[in-house]
Chain A
C-alpha cells in the first residue's frame, strides 16, 4: 500500500502537514495565484489558533501583497467571521487559514470569493490552473499595498447576529450554557456572543493556544467532558464548536450529545416557525430535516456535499435556512456560511421562546440513528469502490450525484471519497443503531479488500 499523502490540493483548497509538504513556498505561491485570480483589491485573511497559523499567515500575506492586493488581517477568528468580513468590506476575496477538524499537524487554505462564499468548483479550477501555470501578477514599487491589522472583526460578527435576531426574550429565565470551543477560533467570540444574547456561559476549552484538548470534530464520542459538565452544572444546554467554529454540536440538559446532525434540525424549528420557506441540505443529512420541513409545509432540496454546493442550492432556491448534517447551519439573513455562532443564537432563541428543554423539543422530532465510518483508500481506488457499490445494490433507488447514496425502505447509506483526506466515508441512517450499523457493515463487507488492494 502506498503511503498516505501529506498534501491535498483540490478544489476545496490546499491542505497539508506542516513540517512536511505544506511549505511556505507552496503557500506563498497559492496566495499569489489567488491574488492573480481576484485581481488587485482587498483580501481578508483570518486564521484558527493552530501553532503553524502564524507561519502560514506570513507566507500568505507575502504572496497576496506581491500581486498588488491590500491585506486586511483580522487575526484569529472563526471562518464565518472571515466570510462576513469579506461581504461587509466588499473585499475581492478572503483566505481562511484552517484545517477545520483535521489533527493539529495539518493546516490549510480555504479561498473565499467576493460574495463571501467559498470558491465554487469552476472558480476553484481556475485558481488551480493559475497555480499550476505559475505565472502570477507581480507588482513593484508604489503599486505594492500594505497590511491593515483589524481588531474587532468578531464584534462585527456578534453585532450582525444581534441586529437580525435580537437578544433573548426578557421574560424567559436566564439560560445557562456550557460552551466547549475546543480551544479553537471560537474561544473568545463564543462566550462573548452568549453573554451578549443574555444567557449565562460556563466556558470549557476556551484557551486558543493551538493545543487540542479533544479531537476537533464535534461528534458525540469527542464530547464526553462537555456532557459531564452540562450535567454537573445543571446547565440548559451544551454547545461544542470545532477548530474553525463553523460547525456546532449540541448536548441536551440531561448531558446527552444529541448528534451533530440534529443541530440543523433545531435551528430549523426556530426559523421555519417564524419564516417558512425552502430548506436546502446535502444528501448526507439526516432524514429528520426532510420530516421537519414537511411538518412546516416547506420544500427541501438536497445537494452534493460541500458547503459551496449547499450555498449554491440555497441561492438557487431562495432558501430561508440550510446546512449540513455535520453541524453546519447556514442562515442567510446573517451570513451565507456555516456559522456555529449563528447556530448557537438560533438554538438559544428556540429554547427561550418555546420554554422547552432540548429533550422536550426533540420529542416532537423523528429520531434516526446515523453511523459514520471511514476507511483508508488511495484515490485511484475510489471509483472502483463506487462502481462495486452501484452494482451490488442495483435493486435500490440511488442518488449518484456525489458518491453513491442508496435509499432503502428502512433508511439510506452513502459511500463517497473524501475531498480532504485519502479515505472513503460511509454514512448510514436507520430508525435505530443496530440497523444503521448493519448497513455500514454490509457495505464494508462488499468493498473491504478493494480499497486497500
Chain B
C-alpha cells in the first residue's frame, strides 16, 4: 500500500515514497493560483523532510507570483495568527501534525487564518488536477522575505486573552513535553513569562521526535515521571505543530486525549454558557458536562475546518476534538494547544483547584479507538457495506461523518480517515467491558 492522501484537507504522504518534491511544488503553485498570488506565509515543523518540502513550496509559490514570507519553524497556530498581523492572503503549513516522523503534509490556510473549508479544498484540488498554474514573468517574480517573528506575536495574543496576572501570582511549576516539535520555540518561553517554573523536556527542535508526536497516555510516560519528580502542578504534551494537547495531572496520571476537551469544556462553561462545538467522534463526556452547566453541544464532521465553521455559525464558546485539539475563540477560531494551556492555567490560578480535583468531577467514560488498515480503493466501499449491514439490522445511523450508531450501552462511530488509508472505529461506554463489546460488535460488521 502506497501511503498518499490527496484530499480536501491537503496532501499528505511519506517522504521518500509518495510525497515527492514535484507534488509539493505543484500544490504550492495551485494554491498561489487559487489565491491569485498575494502574500503567502509558510511555516514548518521539525521533521527531517520539512526543509526539503519547504524549498519545494517556496519555489512553487514564487513561480506563481506570490509574495512569500517564510516564518521558518513555528507552530501552525502561530502562522495562522500571523496571517492577520501581516495582512497575508493565505498560508501553507508544512507539517503532518500527529503523524509519525516519516510523514509530511501541506495544510492550506486562508486570509482569515482558518483552514480552507471543504468547498474551497475542492476548488484547490480542481486547480491542482487541471495543472494550469499562474506563472510570474521575470519582472514580476518576487524574492522570499524571512523577517517576521510569529512566536512573539502569538505570545502577545495569548497574553491578551487570559488573566496572566492571576497565573503569574501562583508561580506554578509546569512540566511540558514539546516532542522536539515546533512548540519547542513557544511553550517554554511563554510559560516562563507567565512566572511558571518550567520543566521542559524534548524541547530541542533539532533533535528527532522522542516518541510519536501524538499526545496520548502511551506517549506521556516521560512527562508523567517529570511531573512526579518535579512536583509539578500539571504536565502538558504537544504534538509536532502545536494543535493537540495532552495532560498529566499533579498526581502524575496521564489522561486520555479525550479528557483535554472535557477539562476545557468544564472550565469554559463554568464561566461562560454557550455552545461547545465538537465532532461526532468525540466522547459523550462533553454532553454530560454541557448539561451540568446548562450549555449545549454542536456536533460536526471530523476535521478542524468543520469545527471552525461550527463555531462561527453557532457563536460557540469553545471548540475541540477528542484528539486533543482545542479552539479557544478569544485567541482564534482554530486549534491551538497554547491557547488550551492558557485556559486551563487561568482556571487553576483563579479557582485554586488542583487539576486532579477537577478531573475527579468529570464523567469518566471508556473510549476505545481502533484502526483497520484498508486498501485505498476499498476505503469508502467498506464504509458503505458497514452501513448496509447496520441498517439491515434495523438500526438508525447518523451519517454526519461516516456512520455513527447509538446502542443501549454506548455509541459506535466508524469513518474513513481523512489523512491515512484507514477505517477508524471509535466506541464509548460507561464501563470498559461494555466498550470492548461495542468494539467487537463493530469489528464483526466490517469486511475488508
> Residues of A with Cβ closer than 8 Å to B?
17-20, 23-25, 27-29, 32, 50-52, 54-59, 61-63, 65-66, 104-107, 138-144, 146-147, 210
Contact = CB atoms under 8 A, between A and B. Distances in A.
Interface string B140-156: 11011000000000000
Nearest to A21: B135
Contacts of B22: 25, 28-29
B14 interface: yes
B16 A50 contact: no
B16 to A, nearest CB: 2
B430 interface: no
Interface stretch (B58-66, B85-93, B260-268): B58-66
Given A52-B141, A104-B138, A65 B20 contact: no
Nearest to A146: B51
A7 to B, nearest CB: 13
A66 B63 CA distance: 20
B53 interface: yes
A28 B49 contact: no
Contact of A138 (B17, B51, B60, B141): B17
B53 A51 contact: no
Given A57-B59, A62-B59, 12 more contacts: A18-B136, A19-B136, A28-B56, A50-B138, A59-B59, A59-B60, A61-B52, A138-B16, A138-B20, A140-B15, A144-B16, A144-B48
Contacts of B193: none
A54 B138 contact: no
A58 B17 contact: no
A52 B136 CA distance: 9
Interface in B124-175: 135-141, 143-144
Interface stretch (B23-31, B234-242, B343-351, B419-427): B23-31
Contacts of B315: none
Interface in B33-60: 48-49, 51-56, 58-60
Nearest to A103: B138
A59 B143 contact: no
Contacts of B21: 28, 32, 59, 62-63, 65-66
Given A19-B137, A105-B138, A144 B52 contact: yes
Contacts of A139: 16
A24 B59 CA distance: 6
B102 interface: yes
Contacts of A140: 14-17, 49, 102
A171 B102 CA distance: 65
Contacts of A58: 55-56, 58-59, 62, 144
A56 B25 CA distance: 12
B141 A143 contact: no
B7 interface: no
B16 A141 contact: yes
A20 B62 CA distance: 14
B101 interface: yes
Given A140-B14, A144-B48, A18 B137 contact: yes
29 contacts: A18-B63, A18-B136, A18-B141, A19-B135, A27-B59, A32-B21, A52-B141, A54-B58, A55-B136, A57-B59, A58-B55, A58-B62, A59-B59, A59-B60, A61-B55, A62-B25, A62-B56, A63-B21, A65-B52, A65-B55, A66-B20, A104-B138, A105-B137, A138-B16, A138-B20, A140-B16, A140-B49, A144-B49, A147-B51
Contacts of A146: 51
Q: Which 7 A-B pairs have the closest CB atoms?
A: A140-B16, A62-B56, A59-B59, A19-B137, A55-B62, A62-B55, A65-B52
B208 interface: yes
Contact of A25 (B17, B25, B101, B139): B25
Contacts of B56: 24, 28, 58-59, 62-63
Nearest to A17: B138
A18 B24 contact: no
A144 B48 CA distance: 6
Nearest to B62: A55
Nearest to B26: A25
Interface in B103-140: 135-140
Contacts of A23: 29, 63, 135
B181 to A, nearest CB: 16
